[in-house]
């Protein structure tokens, strides 16, 4: 596998950090999840629990090992030190400074292992006025500008239900870790890698931030309307809604042709995108008159065949029974001994020669303590 031979010591819990180490584990790294003796990662007790295992925990901790260490004791710290001397990567998602207080400052870690990549996912960055604040996905969604543009024009600023800032920060950190591994091939040295919940989501503001920088105008919530493209959005079919996104004049023509409304482009109100923006509601009404005559299935086929991007608004039941989603192996089943078979989402990154694999189920708390510590002792 792509990351075979890479050992990751994983001091993370909940979500952002575990998502980072999940990316590494799925690609073949040996991820050793260090958990506290009492009860380990709190996610073990969150979400739906079936046959003694949280499916939420299982999804985010597949392909990992679990070692219980009490990092408040000298013995625990000594074992961690030994483990780090055998590792390539350390990932933590403590608040900045916590690891230093535990006796593992950047300098100390470099002493223990100069090749170690020290990765950290945090709320706001490891310096600056908010460095000591606790953070959380919802707060990062609020403070990144994301909520200010998410939702309709008449709604409050809305969070996204998925924990986007956690996941994006975790993914950025995984990218940073592999990039640092690549740098190490030349330099022989590790380094610090960081991403933050807030910084990660800010970097996703994309053209909204570019527009703000260029014009000074603050982007507003526009719901499913595109702020500068028309027609665009959800249209009414006889049995549901169809999402249509014609991004250029060519696509608009294909879309309207599929509806047998191409003649509208000869109407002075609809000739250019500017015209269509001014008369957006009138145009949407004309489109809805036609789309409402047939089913979602009908329009998906006809509009796609015309070469214009369109699709169904799918709930998760539809997503996970969709033939395309299944063809991409985005639903996986893994036997978890003692806990039955757990269903989870598949791998979003496909490599042809060294593909991601389900190698092992999410570990029971401390399942690998004995084996890992025995091997450490042997190597003394």
Q: How far apart are CA 355 and CA 1, in angstroms?
A: 7
Query: Could you tell me which stretch among 69-77, 205-213, 285-293, 359-367 binds its own copies (CB under 8 A)?
Result: 205-213
What does the per-residue mask of binding to its own copies show for 239-268, with x meaning CB under 8 A?
Answer: --x-x-x-xx--x-----------------
Q: Which of residues 58-87 bind its own copies (CB under 8 A)?
A: 58-60
Q: Give the residue with the Cβ less far from its own copies, 210 or 371.
A: 210
- Which of 52, 72, 207, 271 is the binder for its own copies (CB under 8 A)? 207
Select from 301, 297, 344 the least CA-distant residue to 320: 344
Strand (E) or helix (H) holding 324: helix 323-327
How far apart are alpha carbons 364 and 354 in whole angstroms? Answer: 27
Q: Helix, strand, or coil here: 208? A: helix
Instruction: Give the H or E element holding residue 341.
Output: strand 340-345
79 vs 230 by CB, closer to its own copies: 230
Residue 192 lies near its own copies (rule: CB under 8 A): yes
Q: Which of 102, 202, 278, 365 binds its own copies (CB under 8 A)?
A: 202
How many other C-beta atoms lie within 10 A of the C-beta of residue 53?
A: 19
Q: Which of 73, 75, 114, 155 binds its own copies (CB under 8 A)?
A: 155
Pick from 221, 280, 286, 339 the residue near its own copies by CB under 8 A: 221
Q: Which residues are 237's β-sheet partners?
A: 240
Of the candidates 157, 129, 155, 121, which has an alpha carbon nearest to the alpha carbon of residue 141?
157
Closest distance to its own copies from the beta carbon of 369 (Å): 26
Question: What DSSP letter does each residue of 59-71 carry, written as one string?
Answer: HHHTTEEEEE--T
CA distances from 274 to 109, 229, 254 (A): 58, 8, 18
Stretch that binds its own copies, among 65-73, 211-219, 263-271, 367-375 (CB under 8 A): 211-219
Report the C-alpha gap between 63 and 355 in whole angstroms.
14
Minimum distance from CB of 353 to its own copies (Å)? 4
226 catalytic? Reply is yes
Residues 26-45 that bind its own copies (CB under 8 A): 27, 42
User: Is the bond preceding 214 in cis, omega lying within 30 degrees of 0?
Assistant: no
Decide if residue 182 touches its own copies (CB under 8 A).
yes
Please identify which residue in 262, 267, 275, 322 interacts with its own copies, judged by CB under 8 A: 322
3-class SS of residue 379: coil
Does 196 interact with its own copies (rule: CB under 8 A)? yes
One of 7, 82, 192, 226 is an active-site residue; which one?
Answer: 226
Which of 23, 25, 68, 87 lies at the binding interface for its own copies (CB under 8 A)?
23
Residues 267-306 that bind its own copies (CB under 8 A): 304
What does the alpha-carbon distance between residue 49 and residue 187 come to, in Å, rounded to a whole number?
Answer: 46
* Least distance to its own copies, CB of residue 378, Å: 25
Single residue of 188, 327, 337, 377 touching its own copies by CB under 8 A: 327
Four-point Cα dihedral 142, 143, 148, 151, nearest 10: -30
By CB under 8 A, tell whether 199 contacts its own copies: yes
Which residues participate in catalysis according to the annotation?
A: 226
């Amino acid at each position: 596998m792509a990351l075979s031979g890479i050992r990751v010591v994983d001091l993370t819990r909940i979500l952002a950090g575990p998502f980072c180490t999940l990316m590494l584990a799925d690609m073949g790294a040996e991820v050793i999840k260090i958990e506290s003796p009492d009860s380990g990662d709190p996610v073990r007790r969150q979400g739906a629990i079936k046959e003694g295992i949280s499916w939420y925990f299982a999804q985010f901790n597949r392909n990992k090992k679990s070692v219980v260490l009490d990092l408040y004791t000298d013995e625990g710290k000594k074992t961690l030190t030994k483990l780090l001397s055998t590792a390539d990567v350390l990932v933590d998602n403590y608040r900045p400074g916590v690891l230093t207080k535990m006796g593992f400052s950047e300098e100390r870690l470099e002493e223990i292992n100069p090749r170690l990549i020290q990765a950290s996912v945090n709320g706001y960055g490891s310096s600056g006025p908010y460095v000591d604040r606790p953070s959380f996905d919802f707060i990062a969604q609020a403070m990144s500008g994301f909520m200010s543009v998410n939702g309709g024009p008449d709604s409050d600023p809305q969070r996204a239900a998925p924990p986007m800032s956690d996941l994006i920060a975790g993914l950025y950190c995984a990218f940073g870790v592999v990039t640092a591994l690549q740098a190490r091939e030349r330099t022989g040295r590790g380094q610090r890698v960081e991403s933050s919940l807030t910084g990660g989501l800010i970097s996703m503001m994309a053209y909204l931030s570019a527009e703000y920088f260029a014009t000074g105008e603050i982007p507003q919530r526009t719901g499913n309307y595109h702020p500068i493209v028309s027609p665009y959005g959800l249209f009414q079919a006889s049995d549901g809604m169809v999402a249509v996104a014609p991004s250029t004049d060519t696509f608009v023509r294909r879309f309207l042709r599929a509806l047998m409304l191409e003649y509208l482009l000869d109407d002075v109100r609809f000739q250019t995108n500017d015209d269509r923006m001014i008369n957006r509601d009138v145009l949407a009404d004309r489109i809805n008159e036609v789309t409402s005559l047939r089913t979602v299935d009908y329009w998906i086929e006809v509009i796609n065949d015309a070469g214009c991007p369109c699709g169904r608004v799918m709930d998760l039941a539809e997503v996970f029974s969709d033939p395309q989603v299944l063809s991409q192996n985005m639903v996986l089943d893994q036997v978890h001994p003692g806990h039955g078979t757990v269903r989870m989402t598949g791998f979003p990154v496909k490599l042809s020669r060294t593909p991601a694999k389900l190698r092992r189920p999410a570990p029971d708390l401390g399942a690998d303590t004995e084996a890992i510590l025995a091997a450490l002792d042997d190597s003394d």
